[in-house]
Structure 1
Amino acid sequence: MSDNILEELFIKRSQQKKKTSPLNYKERWFVLTQEKISYYDYDLDKGKRKGLRGSVDVEKIKCVETVQTEPNTPQERQYPFQIIYDEGPLYIFAKSEDVRALWIKTLKELVRFNKDLMQKYHPCFWHDGMWLCCQQEVKLAMGCKVLDTKNGFKSTQSSRRASRKPLPPTPVEFQEKQGRPLPPQPPEPPAPSASMTVIAEYSYTAMTDMDLELRKDEEYTILEKSDPNWWKARDKYGKEGYIPSNYVVEAASGLERFNWYSKNMNRSQAEQLLKSENKDGGFLVRDSSKAGKYTVSLLTKVGGETGGSCRHYNICTTAQGQFYLAEKHHFNTIPELINYHQHNAAGMVSRLKYIVSNRAQPPSTAGLGYGVWEIDPRYLTFIRELGTGQFGVVKYGKWQGQHDVAIKMIKEGSMSEDDFIEEAKIMMKLRHENLVQLYGVCTKQRPIYIVTEFLVNGCLLGYLKEGLTQHPTPIQLLEMCKDVSEGMAYLESQQYIHRDLAARNCLVDGNGTVKVTDFGLSRYVLDDEYTSSAGSKFPVRWSPPEVLLYCKFSSKSDIWAYGVLMWEVYTLGRLPYERLNNTEIVDQVSRGLRLYRPQLANEKVYSIMSSCWHEKADERPTFQELALNVQDLLYELQ
């Protein structure tokens, strides 16, 4: 048929949906069109294809790659490749390298504009309940090998085909066009390389026999970086073990080596910290709201203000790449610039007299030790109840008597426990400064526990209503939105859908940083009222038309919910559509009703909110684009 792009007789491997399922290999006639890849029975004697055996929609394909051949493989299975879609990998064996290369190239051309293309994949087979490349035992586990570019092409967030109307600019093209840097993205796990030397920014007490103790400011040699969260290291005494990768910085470079640098600190947090120290000339260097730029924040008591006032100076660069705060004084590095201004004001209100550091509190780790995801409940101490959530009571406690944790005690019958336990192994590997860290689970007894990072300021919704000052600044409100957008951009990059994003599912730490929590948990709810859009517990007020009408969740439904969360922030915690009941909301939102502009939100802020509420899901921005827009607006305000 003229619509067919390619046809070929391949060997197909069975899916092996259960660990006990025997593998089989059968010849199938494969047909590729613009819309589908289909495979049929084949009559060798007559040379004809017969009944359809299965198909995959092209728009659902997330990755097309080769597969490493297993030892002692027969000649007819020497050229395998994989097509990865929602249900997992489809393994196909070509007769020659040329045929395999042609199909991979053609498929990659077809899927290059698909949404949610994978950034990492498994280079080896799934076999007998395990990935042969990384030994993970969860079939949907994130890949262990990073693609140089997504499926061989630059990343794009659009799912529209090239044959349709022109695509909007990708984030990379958008950056080049606007001359603006993208928001910071979490680093991909580095490929194993030659050993490097790092310096410990924080002390770390070994939690397991496989861990290595860290002593602040001492040097360590990195031996292995196969796990992005836990690196194998050797100390100066020759002892080896695993360390949290976010506790160390490479010795040769990086501002992290200097106590005056406060990574991931925003303007409001800097002012709070400087005023708490209350020293004239107290200073720190922080990331600017514009990615890749830095700001010096300085407390001065000049002018006799009670408690002093904070000034913020952006570190500028010349055309030659030198740094400066004062036009006449240029430096090759930022540390040289800071050293000069510690002795000379040179245009600032004061010289930099006292270093103010936020390094007393170490960051959270991905688990409570290398390889630990099952936590012994005997090591947990319950201190007080924090509240009751969808799955049961949440308590504040300690692990091993010293580490603050939050413990969700899962009410029996509220969750699909076995499915969640499998997923928890993957969720623990998600680490970002704007996500609440999952530390582990207790599954050997009932009720099961979910153990997470504890955030002292609690739920964002309560913080908006009671924890903020009566007159929050526009910068404070926008910084909260920025935190959530960057946490969600990370989840988006990992192909994770939250499904229940709202202010009630975000938490606030002691510095005012907002972190997203409970991502993906709604998939395991067994409550019919919650899982049906007609039920009273379903998050109707945060849901787009395609969820209200068809229960169709995607990253774009999370975008809609983010717009509603922004509205919650700018109304200081009011209930969306407060005068309507759920039935009225379903009807009126489907007809085009949208939330009004809050009094505290200017037109630019409301424009970002409104962009999340397009009726057509593919016209809504990505979280990466939202983070960029919020970042730019924050930079304007500062």
Structure 2
Amino acid sequence: MSDNILEEIFIKRSQQKKKTSPLNYKERWFVLTQEKIAYYDFDSDKGKRKGLKGSVDLEKIRCVETVQPEINSPQERMYAFQIIYDEGPLYIFSKTEDVRAQWIKKLKEMVRFNKDLMQKYHPCFWVDGVWLCCQQEVKQAMGCKVLDNKNGFTSNLHLSRRRGSRKPLPPTPTEEKAVRPLPPQPPEAPSHSVGMTVIAEYNYTPMSPQDLELRKDEEYTVLEMSDQNWWKARDKNGKEGYIPCNYVVEAEHGLEKFDWYSKNMNRSQAEKLLKTENKDGGFLIRDSSKAGKYTVSLFTKGGGETSGSCRHYNICTTAQGQFYLAEKHHFSSIPELINYHQHNAAGMVSRLKYIVSNRARPPSTAGLGYGVWEIDPHCLTFIKELGNGQFGVVKYGKWQGQHDVAIKMIKEGSMSEDDFIEEAKIMMKLRHENLVQLYGVCTKQRPIYIVTEFLSNGCLLTYLREGLKQHPTTVHLLEMCKDVSEGMAYLESQQYIHRDLAARNCLVDGNGTVKVTDFGLSRYVLDDEYTSSAGSKFPVRWSPPEVLLYCKFSSKSDIWAYGVLLWEVYTLGRLPYERLNNTEIVDQVSRGLRLYRPQLANEKVYSIMSRCWLEKADDRPTFQELALTVQDLLYELQ
């Protein structure tokens, strides 16, 4: 057919889904089109293609690479390559090196903008329940070899999970210039369009005269999208105004309209919610730790357990794109799958009896109403002091008597105020579930105030030392690290450098989600003791050699600090290099000293820390790569 890009007869290896299933090798007729790679049975005598045996949609491909041949492989199996997608690796054997190279090159070219590309892969085969290259015994285990991104296969994962864009992320700056220009405004999401109908997920009470009220489950028409956080919309009565775009979902797409879907919820939070509800068969659907995947979390009182327990089932997909929990029951959509299992257990410990929802708590908005940047201090009520930071006192309060806020009261002389105020307009537009939201500033009086989202569990450092009521699980610790990595990956994509990433500069909300705060603020500090690397207030314990020796900040110096933050998490808040003073740290870190492996961290977690602490900044990973690595580790634990 005219739309076929490549055709070839290859040997295909069975996927060996179970340890006991025998390996077999069969000749198949492979056809590559713009949408998929399909393979067929064929009549070798007549040279004709027969029935379709399977296919893989190109948009689901995460990696295309060669595979090292096994020892004593026959000649016809010397030139193997692999196509990795949701179901695992599809192993294909070419007759010649040239044909293999042709197919790999073309496939890489066609999938280079896929949103879930891998950073690491397995160079050898999965055989009899083990990876031959690294001996890991979990088929979903992350790869052991870093992909060569210079070989035409650049990963462009966009970390905002449900955006459909294939546009690559902007390049990460390697070094901050002496006079740093204002960063670009975050790009507008291209997957939505003016005129579309959206449904409100939450109620929204207008906070400025230009806002439009939202009522949960009602429909609205989008009229304008010039602001990426606030869309102009019309309700069914013809009234127009601005709405927070993260409160609505497109009417015909997504799981957000279903009460059983809990967006941005991790495993620990799901277990806490289900146990609080305490209903046998209580369930919810949440995002898996791996982007684009979903997990069913189910509470059961069966099996003789008096207090009940939680089970987690990953929703799988077939090669044809159908969804299933039990292998014999496939569905074309996740809502159909949930509807079936609400009536049939089909292999699970229980059917899905009761929807458990977290929809009561709406997300933060980018500002307190459309266009609200300068906040009237008379609208703020101070309730209690939360602490004393670098810039002055931080208090918990209310805006207009009802909205929780945190208020930083900036001590005069501590900050370059004019420069900060100019950039605050840009910083307000940054919105991510793992960043503390900046709501606005009060600049008409002195001291000036910075008004932000309030997080009830306070500082991560204090939470690690005092707030964990019980010994944290491996999953819980890793989830905290994942939260920070994804917030920082977003900042990295917006070309923001934090400069002071540490557990003390992260906060924890009432659900246990960790959010990064004070990003970029250290640039406006006027305290010499802080701004000089020789100063006693300088974050020496979180700084790499190039910052300690040359004050050379970049996104890669933030990576180093992230490795130290991981160490803080896995020591439950101990002081890095606790027996050394600042002068000794500068000397010994520059000579190669690194923090030891914490008792709670296994070798895989410590290897992440170690990669963050590589001597050469350019050798350290990006936050995008780290977020993927942590996702993979969490996925193994599910």
TM-score, with structure 2 as normaliser: 0.72
Q: Which residue of 2 aligns with 1:189?
A: 188
Instruction: Summarize the Cα distance change of 1:295–1:581 in structure 2 as closer, same or farther, 3 Å threshold.
Output: same
Q: CA deviation at 1:471?
A: 1.4
Q: Which residue of 1 aligns with 2:101?
A: none
Contact 2:161 2:291 survives alignment (8 Å): no
Instruction: Summarize the Cα distance change of 1:454–1:347 in structure 2 as closer, same or farther, 3 Å threshold.
Output: same
CA deviation vs aligned residue, 1:169-226 (integer Å, no higher than 9, x gap): 27993769xxxx7754585513584400000000101111111110111000001111
Report the 3-state secondary structure (helix = DSSP H, G, I; strand = E; otherwise coil) of the residue aligned with 2:231.
strand
Contact 2:162 2:292 survives alignment (8 Å): no
Q: CA deviation at 1:299?
A: 0.2
Structure 2 residues not aligned, in runs of 5+ = 1-111, 120-145, 164-186
Instruction: Summarize the Cα distance change of 1:256–1:336 in structure 2 as closer, same or farther, 3 Å threshold.
Output: same
Q: Which residue of 2 aligns with 1:413?
A: 413
Matches within 5 A, 1:467-482: 467-482=467-482
Aligned partner of 1:169: which letter? N
Report the 3-state secondary structure (helix = DSSP H, G, I; strand = E; otherwise coil) of the residue aligned with 2:153.
helix
User: Is residue 373 from structure 1 mapped to residue 373 from structure 2 by the alignment?
Assistant: yes
Q: Which residue of 2 aligns with 1:542?
A: 542
Q: Which residue of 1 aligns with 2:89?
A: none
Contact 1:261 1:285 survives alignment (8 Å): yes
Contact 2:486 2:623 survives alignment (8 Å): yes
Report the 3-state secondary structure (helix = DSSP H, G, I; strand = E; otherwise coil) of the residue aligned with 1:556.
helix
- Among candidates 173, 196, 207, match of residue 153 of structure 2: 173
Segment of structure 1 superposing worse, 465-474 or 166-175:
166-175
Q: Which residue of 2 aligns with 1:35?
A: none
Q: Which residue of 2 aligns with 1:351?
A: 351
Aligned partner of 2:284: which letter? L
User: Is residue 570 from structure 1 mapped to residue 570 from structure 2 by the alignment?
Assistant: yes
CA distance in structure 2 between the partners assigned to 1:556 and 1:463 by the alignment: 27
Q: Which residue of 1 aligns with 2:517?
A: 517
Aligned partner of 2:268: which letter? S
Contact 1:183 1:631 survives alignment (8 Å): no
Report the 3-state secondary structure (helix = DSSP H, G, I; strand = E; otherwise coil) of the residue aligned with 1:173.
coil
Contact 1:392 1:410 survives alignment (8 Å): yes
Instruction: Summarize the Cα distance change of 1:171–1:538 in structure 2 as closer, same or farther, 3 Å threshold.
Output: farther
Q: Which residue of 2 aligns with 1:387?
A: 387
Alignment RMSD (CA, Å)? 2.1
Aligned partner of 1:288: which letter? S
Aligned partner of 2:483: which letter? D
Q: CA deviation at 1:601?
A: 0.3
Contact 1:202 1:248 survives alignment (8 Å): yes
CA distance in structure 1 between the partners assigned to 2:390 and 2:152 by the alignment: 39
Matches within 5 A, 1:104-503: 168-169=148-149, 173=153, 183-184=159-160, 187=163, 188-191=187-190, 193-503=193-503
Q: CA deviation at 1:303?
A: 2.3
Q: CA deviation at 1:168?
A: 4.1
CA distance in structure 1 between the partners assigned to 2:194 and 2:534 by the alignment: 57
CA distance in structure 1 between the partners assigned to 2:224 and 2:148 by the alignment: 40
Contact 1:543 1:560 survives alignment (8 Å): yes
Instruction: Summarize the Cα distance change of 1:471–1:399 in structure 2 as closer, same or farther, 3 Å threshold.
Output: same
Aligned partner of 1:173: which letter? F
Q: CA deviation at 1:618?
A: 0.3
Aligned partner of 2:301: which letter? K
CA distance in structure 1 between the partners assigned to 2:271 and 2:581 by the alignment: 42
Instruction: Summarize the Cα distance change of 1:224–1:170 in structure 2 as closer, same or farther, 3 Å threshold.
Output: farther
Contact 2:437 2:452 survives alignment (8 Å): yes
CA deviation vs aligned residue, 1:427-450 (integer Å, no higher than 9, x gap): 000000000000000000011000
Segment of structure 1 superposing worse, 297-306 or 218-227:
297-306
CA deviation vs aligned residue, 1:106-136 (integer Å, no higher than 9, x gap): xxxxxxxxxxxxxxxxxxxxxxxxxxxxxxx
CA deviation vs aligned residue, 1:220-277 (integer Å, no higher than 9, x gap): 0001111110001000010111000000000011100100000111100000000010
Contact 1:182 1:291 survives alignment (8 Å): no
Aligned partner of 1:357: which letter? S
Aligned partner of 1:475: which letter? V
CA distance in structure 2 between the partners assigned to 1:502 and 1:190 by the alignment: 30
- Identity, in percent, stands at 86
CA distance in structure 1 between the partners assigned to 2:290 and 2:152 by the alignment: 16
Contact 2:161 2:292 survives alignment (8 Å): no
CA distance in structure 1 between the partners assigned to 2:478 and 2:151 by the alignment: 21
Aligned partner of 1:189: which letter? E
Aligned partner of 1:279: which letter? K
CA distance in structure 2 between the partners assigned to 1:466 and 1:196 by the alignment: 48
Q: CA deviation at 1:305?
A: 1.9
Report the 3-state secondary structure (helix = DSSP H, G, I; strand = E; otherwise coil) of the residue aligned with 1:255.
coil
Q: Which residue of 1 aligns with 2:91?
A: none
Q: CA deviation at 1:625?
A: 0.2
Contact 1:199 1:250 survives alignment (8 Å): yes
Q: Which residue of 1 aligns with 2:532?
A: 532
Report the 3-state secondary structure (helix = DSSP H, G, I; strand = E; otherwise coil) of the residue aligned with 1:587.
helix
Matches within 5 A, 1:65-80: none
CA deviation vs aligned residue, 1:44-97 (integer Å, no higher than 9, x gap): xxxxxxxxxxxxxxxxxxxxxxxxxxxxxxxxxxxxxxxxxxxxxxxxxxxxxx
Instruction: Summarize the Cα distance change of 1:547–1:171 in structure 2 as closer, same or farther, 3 Å threshold.
Output: farther
CA distance in structure 2 between the partners assigned to 1:424 and 1:252 by the alignment: 36
Contact 1:269 1:511 survives alignment (8 Å): yes
Q: CA deviation at 1:637?
A: 1.7
Report the 3-state secondary structure (helix = DSSP H, G, I; strand = E; otherwise coil) of the residue aligned with 2:556.
helix
CA distance in structure 1 between the partners assigned to 2:481 and 2:604 by the alignment: 13
CA distance in structure 2 between the partners assigned to 1:267 and 1:171 by the alignment: 36
CA distance in structure 1 between the partners assigned to 2:532 and 2:633 by the alignment: 37
CA deviation vs aligned residue, 1:411-470 (integer Å, no higher than 9, x gap): 000000000000100000000000000000000001100000000000000000011134
Aligned partner of 2:216: which letter? K
Contact 2:159 2:490 survives alignment (8 Å): no
CA distance in structure 2 between the partners assigned to 1:271 and 1:170 by the alignment: 42
CA distance in structure 2 between the partners assigned to 1:182 and 1:205 by the alignment: 31
Aligned partner of 1:588: which letter? Q
Report the 3-state secondary structure (helix = DSSP H, G, I; strand = E; otherwise coil) of the residue aligned with 2:297.
strand
Aligned partner of 2:188: which letter? P
Report the 3-state secondary structure (helix = DSSP H, G, I; strand = E; otherwise coil) of the residue aligned with 1:339.
helix
Contact 2:194 2:225 survives alignment (8 Å): no
Aligned partner of 2:402: which letter? Q
CA distance in structure 2 between the partners assigned to 1:538 and 1:273 by the alignment: 40
Instruction: Summarize the Cα distance change of 1:518–1:186 in structure 2 as closer, same or farther, 3 Å threshold.
Output: farther
Q: Which residue of 2 aligns with 1:504?
A: 504
Report the 3-state secondary structure (helix = DSSP H, G, I; strand = E; otherwise coil) of the residue aligned with 1:557.
helix
Aligned partner of 2:401: which letter? G
CA distance in structure 2 between the partners assigned to 1:514 and 1:203 by the alignment: 25
Instruction: Summarize the Cα distance change of 1:384–1:194 in structure 2 as closer, same or farther, 3 Å threshold.
Output: closer
Contact 1:492 1:623 survives alignment (8 Å): yes
CA distance in structure 1 between the partners assigned to 2:281 and 2:159 by the alignment: 30
TM-score, with structure 1 as normaliser: 0.72
CA distance in structure 2 between the partners assigned to 1:455 and 1:170 by the alignment: 42
Contact 1:326 1:346 survives alignment (8 Å): yes
Contact 1:381 1:401 survives alignment (8 Å): yes
Report the 3-state secondary structure (helix = DSSP H, G, I; strand = E; otherwise coil) of the residue aligned with 2:441.
strand
Runs (4 or more) in structure 1 with deviation over 6 Å come to: 152-156
Report the 3-state secondary structure (helix = DSSP H, G, I; strand = E; otherwise coil) of the residue aligned with 1:537.
coil
CA distance in structure 2 between the partners assigned to 1:617 and 1:516 by the alignment: 22
